[in-house]
Every structure is written in C-alpha cells, then in structure tokens.
Structure 1
C-alpha cells in the first residue's frame, strides 16, 4: 500500500512538473504556472533593478529604467515580484462617525500583504493554457491605480478576466506590471526637471509597453493588438500615454481604456518643489551640491520615512497630493488639458468612464467643514491658491447645500454624515473626475472613436454609494463591464454581435459624440444597463472646467 501511494505521488509530481508551461525569452527558458485553463508567468523582471550598484551606471534610483539587454539564465516565474515601496496611508476618523463608515474604510490603512522592495520592476503575463507563439491573441495591459502613491498588480486577478475572455470566444492575453510610485516615481522639482527625470513612473510603464512589443508573442499575444487599460491613477497614466511623444503611440498600443481618470489640469513639475525640498532637508541632503544625487545614496528607509510625512490622499487635504503626473518638458510638454485642446491626442479608439459617486471615498478627511465660507477657504488653500474667493464662491453656489442634491447622488437625505459631507463629495467627484472626463470627450469625441460609461451600481452602500473603484469588482469578476472591455480589446468595438436596442446586458453602446453624448449607464435592479445623456450638473461642471483650465494644479 505504501509503495503504491509513493508511486502515485511520484507520478503526480512528474505530471505536474511536465504540465508547467514554459516560454523562451532570448536565451532563457522561463517556467510558469498552470491552473488548467490559464498559464501564469509572474514576476518577470523587465528592467535592471533600481537599487543595484553598477560601476557603469551607478545607482539606478531616480533614473530612467534600463531595459534588460537579454535574458540569459533560466528562471521560474511562479510568484509576483516584490511590490514597489508604498506610501503610508492612514485615515483617522472622528469617534462620532458611525461604525459602518469605520468598517467600510477599514482597508485604507491596511498593510500591503506582500514584500516591498526597490527592486520591483517586474511584469506578469496570464494567457489561455493552449496558446502558442503563433496564436496572435489580442493583449490587454493593466496599469493599477493608487493615487500615484501606492498600488501593485496582484491586487487584481487577471486570471478571471482571461477565463471570461475564453468563455466569450474572444481570448486575450493579460499583462500587468509594477511601476514606481510616490517619491521614487513622481518626484517633482526644478532639479528633477533639469535632469529630465520627471514622471519616472510613466516612463516605467512605457518601458513595459516596449517589453510587450518584444516578448508578448512568446506568450501567445499579438504585439500589433495591444490595448492599455488603467483605473484611477492608472487611467490618468493611460491618458498621459495618449498625449506623450507628440501623440504618436509609436506602435506600442492600438486602443485604450480609462476607468475614473482623464487628462488632468496639472502644471509645471516645479509646482512640486515644496515636497522635494522637505524630503531633501529631512534626509540630510540639504547642503549637498547635487541634492538629486544625494537622494540616490541614502537608505531607502530614510527616503520613505520622509515621504510618509508628506500628505497622502487620505490626509486632511485629500486629493491635493504631493506626487502626481506633472509637466516635465519630456513626457508631458504642456498641461494635459491644453494638449487635448490642441488636438495632441493619439489617434486610437478608447473607452473612458466614471462612477457616479467618485468623490465620496475622499470626503471623510475634512468633516469639520460646516459652511460655504469654510469650503471655499479649504479649496483656495489646497487646490486653487491663485483663484479669488469670489470665483470659488460662485462655483460652490452651483452645488446646493441640500444633502438631497449631493453625493451619493439620488439617495435623498440619506448618508448626510454632516451638513456639508454630500456637498463636499459632489464637488470633489466633479472636480477630479467628472469635469476632466466631460472636457476630454467634448474636445476629442468627434475626432476619435470613443465610448463612455457611467457606473451607478452600489447605491445602497451607506455614505459611499457608487464610489471610486467600485466598478473593478465587475471588470475583474466576470461581469458585464468586464465583458465589454474584453470585446473592445479583441475587436475595437465594445458591442457584441447580438447587441440590440432592448434593455439588457447586451444593450447597444453607441459612440459618444458632442451631438449625442450618450453614456452606457450601469444600474442596480431589474434594468442592468440603459443609455443616458452626459448632461448632469452641466453648469457646475462647466464652471469647474474653466477654473481648472485657468489655474492648473
């Protein structure tokens, strides 16, 4: 009996080993994982490690990622690589806030459940199990969000999405990546600008796009059929890739998807000088002739300790963040919204959608604000210091103080945490997400094939409603939004062959145009999808847009 059991285990182990998928990258054989329906290749380095010292290049921290010339040694790609160093997130709620809010927001300051390391520039590929280098499947490249402060690819499971693509008859290859965030990826100052090293996180992403062109065929993908997709900071990243390189995709992608993020109202990279100066002083580099070079030499722990003392997206000033994409003269040559106005947008089809209650998640930080004057002073202090009090007051007067008019929208007076909470949330959501989204479509939708959605599911969730990022559970959970993304990746059209004008999950999704600005709207209840016009809060959003164009952050 024991001998038979041992024989069985040995045979099982041999079968499992034989079933492990492999790919050939240059001179190396890379071994992955197989779960029966998909192959996973995880933690593949796409650039030289930033913290390694090399006599030829010195410390690669705060420099452009250097591609690996060639893979020469066999290795296993069976686990996600280390997470790039994360900025500490901590939301402190007053004791009087209902327990349900504490429960909903409990994950904000939760520790990242995987190792963190500066040596984090890795890429992951998930593909159908039966692919070959000749399969030529469409490719979907995922860029995570996290406010340019945090984020990592293992927080979303691309295997479910690939399995859904197989079930839909349009299999895709899924790629996700690590890119540098916070001070390591988006440091901003005159010193950074002079060195030509702004927006390093975006440059990391671009390096992955080049990696995909070189290697994705080995995993069954077609490098000529790449769609880039991101959420929040990831969506803003995707938008930035549409604007860089004089709007020339350079063959790196053919389509784009943006969830809750559009070209932003950002100014010159020197606007980040106060944060840079704080870090330099805090780590002891203040007297260095070359402060940027000094930052490359200090221990990572010291750099992150200084970084964590700066405001984050759950600090009092919320989304007035220290680290964000900025105009660096290299990757972004002008305010992204000005580039959009000039028509400098890549000529590729795209999807760009928003959630109904984008602002609620970021509106628990300033619960002390109790009237219009305090709201105006808050926004003038942190977001629009050059705007006049009169300008800001005029816009806030377009946002009624009646809780029934605020966000979560369409919930009456429910979720009125304070007298100004829903008003603040409505303004915050429009300011960062809805206004840039509508401006973007108003400028380019008649010149590009573009589709837009409005996600209104989850209204029953107290205080949050259809909040920022809530659509990801659908996109990654074999839902109807995820199905649309898969279809778009495969065919450059989010509609299915049997789409009709009936109210169903296969409702025909028309292109967005200025004459017919229609949104595919996802609803709770018996009617899962409908079409609505993009005309809500028209006067308020237009006023916000003009303010953003006048005073870029």
Structure 2
C-alpha cells in the first residue's frame, strides 16, 4: 500500500519530468493518438482491447486485438454492446453507436504524466444487469481532476445479453461460458500490459463499479475459486448485486428458446446456425422469457453462469468460505435500492410475490411466506397514484439483491481482518422524495463522477443545487481510496473519518447526506431482515 509520503513524493516527481506522455501511443497492434483537454487531462477514446467478437468468435472467449499497423485518431467512443431490454421492449438493432463489435476502452490520464509516473488506476466496470451497457462513455476527466491529477481512469464496454452470457451444453462444447466476465478479465490484462504507456501503475489498479459492475467486482474477486492473478489491488463497489446464478443445465432453456425463435432448430448444428445469423437477426428475437417456475419474465434474464471454472461457487458461499482475493474494499448501497425496479402499481401480496418469484425463481412458498412477514405492507408509506404494496415490495427486493449482500460481505471482511468500509447513500433529492422513489439505486454515481459530466444527473446535485455540497465530499473519499487504498488518507479537509468495518467495530457505516455526513449504526431492523435473507441466499442460487 502506498503511504501519503510516497504519494506526495510521486506527485512531486511527476512534475519534475520534462516530457509528458505523447498523445500518440504505440500499442504494438495499433497506434492511437489521444486528445489533450483544456483541464490538463488527455483522453484516448475507442481503443480496441480485444478482437471483434464476430463470426466464430461469437459466444467465444475474447481474443487479442488484430494488428492493423495503422495510426488511429482516438477521438470518439467505440460502439456500445448490443443489449437485451426489459420485458415487453424490443431489443435495439445495430447502429452507429451500438454494435456487436464493441470491445473498446477509453482512458483519461493527466496530460503531464510520464511513462515513469506510476499513477494509480481506477478501472471502472459499468452496470446494466448484464443485459445492457448502462454507464457507457462516462467522462473520467472530472475524476482525474478531483484526484489532483494523481490518477488515471479506465472505462470500457463488455458483452451483455446472449452475446456475453448465453449458456448451454452446445456453447460449453463449442464456445465459452461467461464471456462478458472474460471480456472484463481481458481488459484487465490489457491494462497490465499497456497502462504504463499512459502514465499508470499496473501494480496499483483499483476496481470500481456499480450494480452489475459491482457484481462483476464480486465475481472477479471470486473468479477461479479466488485465484489471485495480480490484475487488481483493491475494489470499490456501489450496490453490489447478488442475482440468481444458474448452472449450464439450468440455463439451457434460454438457448433452446433462442434457437427456436430464430429458426435454427432446423439446423444440424444449432450453434453454427446462431453464429451465421446477422446480429440484427438475433436482436429481433432477443427477448426475456420467464424462468422455469416463474409466471412473468425477470428484469434481467441473461447473467453469469455457474460453470465450475470461472464461477465455482455461488457468491454467498464463495465469500463465506474465504474463496476470494482478499484486498482493501468499499461496499455500499442507497437507502431505497428497489424502488426503480419494482412496478409502482404493485397492489397486493399476489403481485408482490409474482414479482419476487420472477427475479428469484428458486424461492419456495415457505420462504415467500417468511418474506411477506418481513415486509408487511402496513409498515411502509403510500404515495399518490401508486399501488399500496409498492414500497414494501421494493424494500424487500432491494435488500435481497443489494443491501444484504453488501452487509454480509463487510462482515466476512471483518472476520478475516481485511480492511473494508461500508456506506449508505442517503442524499435526498426533492423530486425523487416527492414521487416516493426516494434515494434510488446507484444515484450516487452522479456525485462520484461529477454531475456536470453525467447526462441526466439530478438537478439538485448540480452547482447551486441543494445537494451540490455532497459532490466534493464523496469525490474526496473515492479518489483517496483509489490513490491510497484508504478513503481517509486524502479525503476532503473537514470531512469525518470513515471508520472501517472491522472486528470490534462491526455494523458501522458512513451515511452520506448533504451537510450531515457521518458514521451510523446499521439499522437493527435491517440487520434482522438481512440475517434471514443472507441465510437463504445460497438456496436462492445467489
């Protein structure tokens, strides 16, 4: 771990270099020319980190980029990966901004960094439920500035939906499983090989991610049984998500349904047939269908698969058994994780239980009965023009999928003596509060990255807004963690110490609230609910 002295010395040394990184960077397979910005940051957009996943590479593990011997202008984002949308929505077809050929990366680095600067690297894994790239093309220059131009930010796209997570016996035999996660691994290997040319330190890479990106952090930490390939050195997860993980056999229905809908059931080799289709042929049939035993389609059908290789255990037991790379970490959630996912028309226990069963198909009737008792409708507020069961169902879903896994992991870290911190984002946005949505899933990402750089950020977070003051606070903690593996070392002056969750100081979390950020005890009611939900997590295939 780097000390404050070494960081400060490194910062001074950086400015002694008379030559900064050349915007033109030769990666061996291609040369890319970046764009210096007026804020002292240079950006390289649209760097290819893997070969186009087309033809025989559809449903295959990522391969090295092909050599072009060209000099390319790195001044535009690469296409976003093709997505699978929620039930009832048609999947988007290929376009100039969304294609199957989508394995591209963006890098933001201080313009005056040199190849010897050894700057910390924040490697961001975007969310989207493993069905979309929902945080694509985030502008990392603001974070580099917030980190006193003492860090580098890397963002990238990875395959989602059937392209990244279709699983079946046919793919096991003729392709590869969990390719979206393997894309992430490929990008991490790329960083190890090339980041020094941008001023970065391959020995100081911090994973950061939200929602499915945070779930990806969990799955990278537990990959191959917790094998440490020295690709990363700390992690910061926003709303870590524990969804259902099916085996290859349990996932077969998704493959079979796609084969039938595309007309490939007439082929002697259904996998070859799927590979020969155009991406748009697949997109026209790319829909969510119910899990066996459920009555409605889930929010996200495609996802990581228990393949006994990349994923050897469900996530709950993987952590409980200590089978993960044990490095400094941040885990945290928002106060109202489930409100944007749960239908706000939910008006009965029947509708609530149908929704929960759709997301967690292995939940039993006795477990649903216990879940109903944990979230009685009378304990939650009602809002105009919404179903009476919306908020109770949303709280239950949010805790099952997001809050309880984070608290569970922090408890494991404390037991093992691994440095870890927990937070609850409770910054109140007036319009969201009035609607009943509250403090919604991953809303803190707007403050971490800087709301002026995030399209659609809440107006209250922008300069002059009632929550503008929280931006510098959270950026101070976040960039401190990236730079020093500790959120306190380089935090904003005057902000409280973020106490680690450790033996003797368990169940202590940092509550972020504008002008009132401070430590709190985890709510006793939530602790009790999470004790039950985490206890059945392995049975739910989480």
Normalising by the residue count of structure 1, what TM-score does the alignment of the two structures yield?
0.83
Call closer, same or farther: CA 1:317–1:230 in 2, change over 3 Å: farther
* Range that drifts further, 172-181 or 336-345: 336-345
Runs of 5+ unmatched residues, structure 1: 1-17, 54-58, 93-107, 407-411
Choose from 77, 81, 84 the match for 1:80. 77
Q: CA deviation at 1:39?
A: 0.2
Q: CA deviation at 1:120?
A: 1.0
1:245 aligned residue: 224
Map Cα deviations across residues 58-94 of structure 1 (whole Å, 9 max, x no partner).
x2111111012656322211110111112235789xx
1:336 aligned residue: 315
Please show how residues 454-469 of structure 1 align to structure 2 within 5 Å. Answer: 454-458=424-428, 460=430, 461=432, 462-469=435-442
1:272 aligned residue: 251
Please show how residues 483-522 of structure 1 align to structure 2 within 5 Å. Answer: 483-496=476-489, 506-513=495-502, 515=504, 516-522=506-512
Call closer, same or farther: CA 1:538–1:318 in 2, change over 3 Å: farther
1:15 aligned residue: none
- 1:441 and 2:410 correspond: yes
- 1:45 and 2:38 correspond: no
Please show how residues 223-262 of structure 1 align to structure 2 within 5 Å. Answer: 223-262=202-241
1:33 aligned residue: 35
Distance in 2 of aligned mates of 1:171 and 1:497: 11
Check whether the contact 1:257–1:350 (CA below 8 A) recurs between aligned residues.
yes
2:387 aligned residue: 418
Check whether the contact 1:258–1:352 (CA below 8 A) recurs between aligned residues.
yes
Q: CA deviation at 1:311?
A: 6.9
- 1:429 and 2:398 correspond: yes
Q: CA deviation at 1:149?
A: 1.1
Secondary structure of the residue aligned to 1:360 is coil
* Range that drifts further, 302-311 or 480-489: 302-311
Q: CA deviation at 1:334?
A: 1.7
Secondary structure of the residue aligned to 1:193 is helix
Map Cα deviations across residues 389-411 of structure 1 (whole Å, 9 max, x no partner).
23311221111212xx43xxxxx
Runs of 5+ unmatched residues, structure 2: 1-19, 451-470
2:180 aligned residue: 201
1:56 aligned residue: none
Check whether the contact 2:507–2:522 (CA below 8 A) recurs between aligned residues.
yes
Q: CA RMSD in A?
A: 2.9
Distance in 1 of aligned mates of 2:158 and 2:429: 33
Distance in 1 of aligned mates of 2:295 and 2:429: 26
1:297 aligned residue: 276
Choose from 341, 357, 381 the match for 2:336. 357
Q: Which has the larger radius of gyration?
A: 1
- 1:528 and 2:517 correspond: yes
Q: CA deviation at 1:285?
A: 1.2
Map Cα deviations across residues 241-300 of structure 1 (whole Å, 9 max, x no partner).
000133123111101111001555524133222221111111111133332222111111
Distance in 1 of aligned mates of 2:488 and 2:385: 38
Check whether the contact 1:64–1:203 (CA below 8 A) recurs between aligned residues.
yes
Distance in 2 of aligned mates of 1:335 and 1:379: 19
Q: CA deviation at 1:155?
A: 4.1
- 1:549 and 2:538 correspond: yes
Call closer, same or farther: CA 1:70–1:213 in 2, change over 3 Å: farther
2:421 aligned residue: 451
Choose from 464, 471, 490 the match for 2:444. 471
Check whether the contact 1:148–1:233 (CA below 8 A) recurs between aligned residues.
yes
Call closer, same or farther: CA 1:361–1:387 in 2, change over 3 Å: closer
Q: CA deviation at 1:321?
A: 2.3
- 1:401 and 2:398 correspond: no
Secondary structure of the residue aligned to 2:215 is helix
Call closer, same or farther: CA 1:27–1:499 in 2, change over 3 Å: closer
Normalising by the residue count of structure 2, what TM-score does the alignment of the two structures yield?
0.84
Q: CA deviation at 1:414?
A: 4.6
